[in-house]
Structure 1
Amino acid sequence: MSEATGAAPQDDTLPATGKLLLVDDDQSFRQRLELMLTRKGYEVFAASSVAEARTLAAQAQPTHAVLDMKLDDGTGLDLVTELRSIRPDIRIVMLTGYGNLTTAVAAIKAGALDYLAKPADPDDIIKALSAEGDDKPEPPEDPMSADRVRWEHIQRVYELCDRNVSETARRLKMHRRTLQRILAKRSPR
């Protein structure tokens, strides 16, 4: 408490506000992100598919959206234009574990504000969602290293393959022993 006023010091950062549509088919990631975004002040409507997202979007008319690029029944890109038709000023951030330049350009052209690689830092998502007007968010102060992004991608594919080393190595087009060495190491910083 401040001695002069007897009041607690104020936090200069304003809480986020608005209805947010979160669409991701990775249940654990979606739940963590939903909790974090709720704590930041958003009213979160979470969906695991394009079909579920369409229903929630029509009901909630969200002001913000965080969309996964690759979903079981389509892509987050399928939703961008539809969300813009429901609410032209919606702020959309695309997430992907399979990033490449072509899909990033397509997401931005469709109307997404930003495009982040998964696992995206929650603070980077908040910055992208809360950037003023058409301003682009500031680049991250401490982005993940390329080695960390690679390691996270390998871990994600490994989990999607039910922790089967042979299947993961085949899908990543890498030698099984190389993959085993990578999996045995700690995550890079």
Structure 2
Amino acid sequence: MAQVAAARLRATGAACLDILRQTHAARLAIMAARLRRPLPLLAMLMLAALLLCLFLGWSSARGVFRALSPAGIGAGVAAAAVGLLVLELCAAFAVTLMRAGLQLACDTGRHRIRALLVIASGLGLVATARQLTAEGPAFLSGALLPILGLCALISLTIWFERAYRRPAYPGFRDFWADVVTARHILMRAAHGE
């Protein structure tokens, strides 16, 4: 009898773990872990996306809890449900965006990707400078996430220039091999492997 109960408990635990692995947030974490050695920058971007998704889910849950806590009925359950829903939606968007970026990289090549990164960085700098001149230093206090995103984009542009465009750089990499490796790892994680 105890062996049957233990076997059922193990099967239930394995099923719960499998369900957890199928969530987009878990897939994002698995992809970041698998990309850590071959492509550390892409792994850091995925980890940053996961942290942003967790933050958005937590802040959504907190907002729902604050709104429903005076009523007192089911505020915690509703907040947890909304937080998990927002986390999954954000993680699904991040995974889709990463796949689309890798498909774009595969279709266009490193020269066009570099041009897109430079244009995006330039537009981000111009928009930030324009907002800063219009609103003054008060703009900096409310724009932490956009400024961090812009810094990440500029860092990615500089790294891309050095890693894929300058053969004299010690960390020079093969662009096509990295794209194929990243797409392979993303596809395996998407299928739960």
TM-score, normalising length: structure 1: 0.24
Q: By percentage of residues, which structure has more helix?
A: 2
Which has the bigger relative contact order, CA under 8 A and spacing at least 6?
2
The normalised TM-score by structure 2 is 0.24
Of the two, which has the highest radius of gyration? 2
